[in-house]
Amino acid sequence: MSDKKREFPVSKSEEEWKESLTKREYLVLRKGKTDPPYKNKYYHFEEDGIFKCAACGNELFDSKDKYDSGSGWPSFTKPLKEKAVDYRDDYKLSHRRTEVICSQCGSHLGHRFEDGPEPTGYRYCINSTSLNFEERE
């Protein structure tokens, strides 16, 4: 798990983040808020391509690893690359969860749960607001 105070390759002041992101993006990516379930951009999205961090453009997830978990949020079995994301402990709901953050800018993406399908057994439950999509060429 990462240390919350760690330095990331993409670093901005809070004011710079506020200026470069929409209000909703800032709340989700920088303050750890959550999209409403079932009513978010990428939940029922089935295009072929790569999902990137909405804050810094880091390539995070491949659409080939996306599946319908029934959770109300886009779910993936694994990140695009092992080092695309990082993790930290999250106790905001009085029990430990694994928060998923962008390895390049430290932005909040969502959470990883151990109830996903094979081959990984993981469910990366990711906020649509934290993602941008690039269609595969």
Q: Exposure of 77 by Cβ count < 10 A (0-12 exposed, 13-18 middle, 19+ buried)?
A: buried
Contact 56, 105 (CB under 8 A): yes
pTM of the complete model: 0.92
Question: Could you read off the pLDDT of 79-114 as tens digits, one per residue?
Answer: 999 999 999 987 776 678 899 999 999 999 999 999
CA distances 119 to 48, 74, 77, 109, 126, Å, are: 20, 18, 8, 22, 19
Confidence at residue 3, expressed as pLDDT on a 0 to 100 scale: 45
Does residue 2 carry a pLDDT above 50? no
Query: 14-135, which class in CATH?
Result: mainly beta
Q: How far apart are CA 93 and CA 105, in angstroms?
A: 24
Contact 105, 19 (CB under 8 A): no
Catalytic residue from among 56, 102, 105, 125? 125
Separation of first and last alpha carbons in the chain: 34
Confidence at residue 81, expressed as pLDDT on a 0 to 100 scale: 96
Question: Could you read off the pLDDT of 11-20 as tens digits, one per residue?
Answer: 999 999 999 9
Confidence at residue 21, expressed as pLDDT on a 0 to 100 scale: 98
Active site residue 105: no
Confidence at residue 5, expressed as pLDDT on a 0 to 100 scale: 65
Confidence at residue 95, expressed as pLDDT on a 0 to 100 scale: 74
**Chain position carrying tokens 């941008």:** 132
Question: Could you read off the pLDDT of 31-73 as tens digits, one per residue?
Answer: 999 999 999 999 999 999 999 999 999 999 999 999 999 999 9
